[in-house]
Structure 1
Amino acid sequence: MRGLLRTRNDYKCVINGVMEEIITMNKMNIREVIDKIFTLEETGFRTTLLGIGPMSRNLIVASLELAKEKDFPILFIASRNQVDAKELGGGYVCNWDQQGFKEAIEEIAKEVDFTGLYYLCRDHGGPWQRDNERNSHLSEAAAMELAKRSYLEDLIHNFDLLHIDPTKDPYVMGKSIAMDVVINRTIELIAYVENERKLRQLPEIGYEVGTEETNGGLTSQENYELFIRQLTTKLSKRGLPSPVFIVGQTGTLTRLTKNVGEFSYNSSKLLADTAKKYEVGLKEHNGDYLEDYIILDHPSLHITAMNVAPEFGYIETKAYLELVRLEEKEVENGRLEHPSNLKRVMSEEAVNSGRWKKWVIGDDVHLSVEAILAEEELTETICEICGHYTYENEEVKREITTLFANMKTLGIDGNRYILDKIKNSIDRYVQCFNLQGLTSKLLN
């Protein structure tokens, strides 16, 4: 297995008019992975791939450590707000652009001696997918142009899977976007990427289409199949590749630290069977916080992959806050003299960021920063769900350093505690999705 994974092919890539040579892993591409999973299903084997939102560097370390221990492939799914080109505003995760994201994962893989399969994936790429683009009500032409520039950076930096999602249209609010508009935008974006890929003589990549959002119009099995059929037919006529995944609405919805949706077994089975008719895998989004009895059933329902992101950010932040609780206790006991101010600093930064508006429910979305900070319980809740947005803040980083120094005084490796809490959270999905040993099965 390792010999195969370390074999390399040379690809020529034209960047800014200059022919450059890049070295890339001769690994199974994402299409080959899905085809092999479909083949394994015929033998009775069932699994569901896990898409992990890269909420922090720690999450990537924990993911690769666990994947090495349990021999499974990882999909790292980065939204445009998380990772994007500097000229488009960059990303809030470690200030990474596509190159920084790619190089960081390569560096971490070397650090933990991971030689298995991982895939760089764009989650919700497309027009208006950055908060500032949508809030600015950019024109369709301007938003599509920025989406193409973002996808080009993805392509140049060896992303394996691109999610084409043109449904975040600020001019269509409260109703579904017409299916033909979604299809035409999707085809335009895939055609653009494919043209650029061929010009640069880059290897084939995979595409994910559709959305879990209700305004995408794919909430019924009938519309879901109509979308796949019309899209794949038009792609074929233009000589463009069919998608690897299509996103389906299974009833999930993440708010605060819960999945407030209602997972539908019947809908999920219908959507999965429909997708497979067209040799496409069903991709579920918003899988965070689902109970074990639900995710245990995903492989048997033929849900090919599921994305989880905010849950892992919540787990990491909760781990920091647990160390803060210990720190506070040991200050009271006289064993520590200089406590960190991590909880206060992280809470204030999380509230001031305004990013909590995406996750709260009801009238709380209209609360002012001052009103939230005046309520201790609500402030703590927002810190828990949005703390990960603050990890790159310099003051937050200083307080984490102080916290870890205090833990070291107590004989505790604070960072190791954080990593293990994240690994335990990921491992729940590894077990329920029957992922252990999957890489070896794919390659043998």
Structure 2
Amino acid sequence: MINFNILKEELLNSSKTLLGVGPMSKNCVDVVIEICNTHLIPIQLIASRRQIDSKSNGGGYVNSWSTETLSDYINKYDKNNLVLLSRDHGGPWQNYTEVDRELDLHDAMESCKKSFEIDILSDFQFIHVDPSVDINSAVSNIDILERVYDLYSFCIDIAKTNNKDIYIEIGTEEQIEGLNEYSEVEHNINSIVNFCKQNSYQDPTFYVVQNGSKVKEAENTGVFQNVDIDTYENDEKISQIKEITELCLSYGILPKAHNSDYLPYDTSSIYPKINLKGGNIAPEFGVIESKVLINLLKQFRLDSELDEFVQLSINSGKWIKWMKEKSKASDLDKAIISGHYIFSLPEFNELKDKIVLGLSAHKVDLDTEIKKALNDSIVNYLKAYGWVVS
């Protein structure tokens, strides 16, 4: 297992941003492993509880993996321990089961703790503590911090009891298009650092910064959408983000940005320049896989298979939360956005068998084409984030 303290020093002393990739599919996970093995570059594999959760919490929608089986898979194929298993958005009501069962706060927190415990026992090194969701009522910053402290203590105690090294990432609010105020970040970090000092806990490793980005449909809306690489230093909002990243670094805490999908190379390359030390990207890689699939179906006139894929995706309803207000997205657009959610369904597996057979007549291998596209995209982000890819 990698000694992250060494990597942290590298991040603190260089113009680099650590890439976090969502495990959108088996293909995506395989590509991350291959890149880490080939180029010896660390990548965080950032699994949300909806994507991957413990067996006792029902697993997740990605490849029928649970926390335990994903960990086994990574440990089997990650030759250099450079795939950094990470829990993304760990907190109450952050998986489908807790929402569907309408759990109260106590039960949702207990369920979340059980999930965290399995994460830690399964060698997830990075734990994102994110209690920003509450399905029962609006939640104040004071309440969120109290929940952070509760979950933070739980995770540290479980790690110590089981002789595991973990690193905590803190998120205290749902991601929006706006920016943090300097004063609120200062207050939160001060509060958390004081809590850690009082309890002799390690400080958090990452703090999630509201960087003005928000993913809607298949694009990134917000601050970075129109930033010019040549003039970003004069951009008032970018300057505000940089002030906050420097605040985090003054505490020895790495500032991190979520929702970093769909940004072009030049824009992504601003991240290390403004000291964003982590950048998470997830839905874009699912969209890439769906696009490759759809384009191949169109190219080789597999029309009935295309219609079936679109219908399965539409029926899933998973596209709804990604829609813009007054969206003009077509059914095909919605299928591109939500296709990755159905990859583990039996109906899709049957459809995929037909697609693979149809493409084989043209000497085309579906998964190979998908992996090429995913590799190109992930490598592009790594280069933008300051990593040398040989």
TM-based fold match above 0.5 = yes
The 1:430–1:83 alpha-carbon spacing in structure 2 relative to 1, beyond 3 Å, is: same
How far has the Cα of 1:342 moved from its partner? 3.2
Secondary structure of residue in 2 paired with 1:124:
strand
Q: In the alignment, what sits opposite 1:223?
A: 184
Secondary structure of residue in 2 paired with 1:96:
coil
Contact 1:327-1:403 at 8 Å conserved across structures = no
How far, CA to CA, are the matches of 1:266 and 1:46 in structure 2? 17
Q: In the alignment, what sits opposite 2:145?
A: 183
Contact 2:104-2:136 at 8 Å conserved across structures = no
Q: Does 1:323 align with 2:292?
A: no
Q: Name the % identity.
A: 28
How far, CA to CA, are the matches of 1:214 and 1:433 in structure 2? 21
- Greater Rg, structure 1 or structure 2? 1
Secondary structure of residue in 1 paired with 2:387:
coil
The 1:340–1:405 alpha-carbon spacing in structure 2 relative to 1, beyond 3 Å, is: farther
Q: In the alignment, what sits opposite 2:349?
A: 397
Match of 2:332 among 380, 387, 402: 380
How far, CA to CA, are the matches of 2:204 and 2:179 in structure 1? 16
The 1:210–1:325 alpha-carbon spacing in structure 2 relative to 1, beyond 3 Å, is: same
Output aligned runs, 1:179-328, within 5 Å.
179-200=141-162, 202-211=163-172, 213=174, 219-263=180-224, 264-328=237-301
How far has the Cα of 1:403 moved from its partner? 1.8
1:294-336 CA distance string (max 9 Å, x none): 11111111110000000000001100111101220xxxxxxxx
How far has the Cα of 1:150 moved from its partner? 0.5
Contact 2:24-2:282 at 8 Å conserved across structures = yes
Match of 1:419 among 367, 371, 388: 371
How far has the Cα of 1:409 moved from its partner? 1.9
Aligned length: 378
Structure 2: which 5+ residue stretches go unaligned? 225-236
How far, CA to CA, are the matches of 1:155 and 1:106 in structure 2? 14
How far, CA to CA, are the matches of 1:118 and 1:151 in structure 2? 19
How far, CA to CA, are the matches of 1:385 and 1:182 in structure 2? 31
| TM-score, with structure 1 as normaliser | 0.80
Q: Does 1:351 align with 2:301?
A: no
How far has the Cα of 1:431 moved from its partner? 1.2
Q: Match for 1:36: what amino acid?
A: E
Secondary structure of residue in 2 paired with 1:286:
coil
**Which 4+ residue blocks in structure 1 deviate beyond 4 angstroms?**
none
Structure 1: which 5+ residue stretches go unaligned? 1-24, 329-338, 365-374, 439-444
How far, CA to CA, are the matches of 1:342 and 1:72 in structure 2? 38
Q: Match for 1:251: what amino acid?
A: G
The 1:108–1:351 alpha-carbon spacing in structure 2 relative to 1, beyond 3 Å, is: farther
How far, CA to CA, are the matches of 1:87 and 1:188 in structure 2? 21
Secondary structure of residue in 1 paired with 2:134:
coil
How far has the Cα of 1:219 moved from its partner? 2.2
Match of 2:34 among 44, 61, 65: 65
How far has the Cα of 1:425 moved from its partner? 1.1
My pick for the range that moved more, 426-435 or 60-69, is 60-69
How far, CA to CA, are the matches of 1:145 and 1:348 in structure 2? 37
Q: In the alignment, what sits opposite 1:52?
A: 21
Q: Does 1:95 align with 2:64?
A: yes
Contact 2:167-2:205 at 8 Å conserved across structures = yes
Output aligned runs, 1:76-225, within 5 Å.
76-109=45-78, 114-115=79-80, 117-134=82-99, 136-173=101-138, 177-200=139-162, 202-211=163-172, 213=174, 219-225=180-186
- RMSD (Å), alpha carbons: 2.2
Output aligned runs, 1:2-81, within 5 Å.
25=1, 27-29=2-4, 31-38=5-12, 41=13, 45-81=14-50
Contact 2:49-2:94 at 8 Å conserved across structures = yes
| TM-score, with structure 2 as normaliser | 0.91
The 1:89–1:96 alpha-carbon spacing in structure 2 relative to 1, beyond 3 Å, is: same
How far has the Cα of 1:70 moved from its partner? 2.8
Match of 1:429 among 365, 381, 384: 381
How far has the Cα of 1:32 moved from its partner? 3.7
How far has the Cα of 1:218 moved from its partner? 7.9
How far, CA to CA, are the matches of 1:221 and 1:35 in structure 2? 25
